[in-house]
Structure 1
Amino acid sequence: MAASAFVELPWQGRTVRIEHQWVGTDRADAPLVVFLHEGLGSVAMWKDFPQRLCAAAGLRGLVYSRPGYGRSTPRPADERWAPDFMHRQAHELLPALLAALHIDTTRQPPWLFGHSDGGSITLLHAARHPVAGAIVMAPHLFVEDVSVASIEVARQAYLTTDLPQKLGRYHDDADSAFWGWNRIWLDPAFRTWNIEAEVAQITAPVLAIQGVDDEYGTLDQIRAIRRQLPATQLLELPACGHSPHRDQPEAVIEAAHAFFSHHRHHNARGQA
């Protein structure tokens, strides 16, 4: 990927530095897709997937690391996230980032592409802000026992293996990234977290993708989206875990390209 750039913006009473990269075509009139990473993700952890998707679909891409991740401002060591942490990312941080980068979401609403926690943030943002459409992979709409069990396994791995060193390749502060995510997901107060009502407010088209063998959630997560939004397209991938873009990138790119193409043409006809 290209070298990261940085932008500073006020958030939660302090100034945070947000790492971001532009990928894909440099055509200013090309549709923009914003990539939102998983709970332990960052700009670098996407690897070359955003470029591959943007090249296939002729899109501009914006990839960024949330505060606490990648090369963005780390989470203060004593900061514990509240159950509304994804709501705050969707309704405060992302709009502030888009504004700081001079992206006019009213004139040309962006597409969103989110994975895991980033998929949940995508859905929350789309429920309240203008977007052209949303693609989500392995999003969470509610907390399942399988999610909590796998996140506990991750906690043990972080404490007893070289996982901190591995995450340190992608984050300036691996503890910031890991414990912010892990502690809130294992907090008993988070067990009742549920965004199905918010998802029901989305008016943009949605493509939801999940691996049949996802270790962090069941297929009921994406099926719950279609229960709220019957027009949602679902792609359930066999022999695929929690990261479809790594396990089956070609299938994800093909489905995303078709989704973008169909709805871009539909939107163009509607504006004609």
Structure 2
Amino acid sequence: MAIDWSAGRGRFTANGKSLEWGAFGPAPGDAPVIVLLHEGLGSLALWRDFPQRLSDATGLPVFAYSRAGYGQSDADDLPRPLDYMTREATQVLPDVLNALGASHVILMGHSDGATIAAEYAGRVEDFRVRGLVLMAPHFFTEEMGLTEIARAAQVFAETDMGARLGKYHRDPEATFRGWNDAWLAPGFKDWHVGDVIDYWRIPCLAIQGVQDQYGTAAHIHEIETRSYAPVDVLMLDDCRHSPHFDQPQAVLDGVAEFAARLQRIEAAEVEGV
């Protein structure tokens, strides 16, 4: 089912699952649509007012959805395999973009969502994708990140975290376990997908908080050293794992500048044809 942008919200099917979606800003036209991919415990609702603020700042349409197992979308198949982000990129995201029907998109992901966007750009040849915005991406595991994820499991077991997640997810227990159990599986310590960066042929804006509790700047350095395409880096102080909440204006300004530059480059290339 194709997305009816004028409806504002709805559901569509991707890889056999019914997913919720939301549209913000002007209807898609010649300008790219920013497609938001949420973090490992995120959802459409948990972006809060950021999608609308992003559309206001860039002047672009913004599209967000909840992956299977999140928000009000269909349940996912658990336990997730260790390559679940690769599968999300190669088996689900193509259906999402086809349903959206936009001719140009910018993929903007946070945490797991950033990795999914990065994997899509490196594994799927799709000329609709004109740029990447990656907030707190991860390409491999780090001990400090795994320690923080293990701590989250303890917090979930001992506090009302499940009830709080229940405000945003249909099945908060499954949502949490789907993410947490995958990252803490013994085999996940050897997970590494940095090679996908070698195949990017589109510009990237990489954003990370200096105080990110889940990952170090090593992931940003991985992008800088491996990408053949242009890379802009935005390292934000007084910022942890969620730059769009900890430093929203800096993120909005950075993405607006990046998107405007992409559009100027494309316009110049068209004129030069």
Q: For structure 2, which runs of at least 5 residues remain unmatched after alignment?
A: 1-6
Cα distance in 2, alignment partners of residues 124 and 98 from structure 1: 15
Which of 125, 129, 132 does residue 120 from structure 2 map onto?
125
Cα distance in 2, alignment partners of residues 221 and 235 from structure 1: 13
Contact 1:25 1:55 in 2 (8 A): no
The code of the aligned residue for 2:64 comes to V
Residue in 2 aligned with 1:23? 24
Cα distance in 2, alignment partners of residues 270 and 235 from structure 1: 26
Q: CA deviation at 1:3?
A: 6.0
Residue in 2 aligned with 1:264? 263
Residue in 2 aligned with 1:99? 98
Residue in 2 aligned with 1:75? 76
Aligned with 2:95: secondary structure? helix
Cα distance in 2, alignment partners of residues 16 and 188 from structure 1: 28
Q: CA deviation at 1:28?
A: 3.0
The code of the aligned residue for 1:112 comes to L
Q: CA deviation at 1:30?
A: 3.2
Deviations 1:214-250 (A, max 9, x none): 0000011111111102631111101100000000000
Which of 93, 96, 108 does residue 113 from structure 1 map onto?
108
% identical equivalent positions:
39
The code of the aligned residue for 1:236 comes to M
Aligned length: 261
Contact 1:30 1:58 in 2 (8 A): no
Aligned with 1:200: secondary structure? helix
Aligned with 1:22: secondary structure? strand
User: Which segment drifts farther, 126-135 or 242-251?
Assistant: 126-135
Matches within 5 A, 1:85-234: 85-101=84-100, 103-104=101-102, 108-127=103-122, 128-130=124-126, 131-229=129-227, 231-234=230-233
Aligned with 2:69: secondary structure? coil
Aligned with 1:255: secondary structure? helix
Which of 5, 10, 26 does residue 5 from structure 1 map onto?
10
Deviations 1:49-86 (A, max 9, x none): 1111111111111100000000100235xx21111100
RMSD: 1.4
Residue in 2 aligned with 1:246? 245
Q: For structure 1, which runs of at least 5 residues remain unmatched after alignment?
A: none
Deviations 1:78-101 (A, max 9, x none): x21111100111111010122233
Provide TM-score, normalisation by structure 2: 0.92
The code of the aligned residue for 1:249 comes to P
Contact 1:3 1:21 in 2 (8 A): yes
Provide TM-score, normalisation by structure 1: 0.92
The code of the aligned residue for 2:48 comes to K
Q: CA deviation at 1:7?
A: 1.1
The code of the aligned residue for 2:81 comes to A
Q: CA deviation at 1:27?
A: 4.9
Q: CA deviation at 1:40?
A: 0.2
Contact 1:141 1:196 in 2 (8 A): yes
Runs of 4+ aligned residues of structure 1 deviating over 2 Å after TM superposition are 26-30
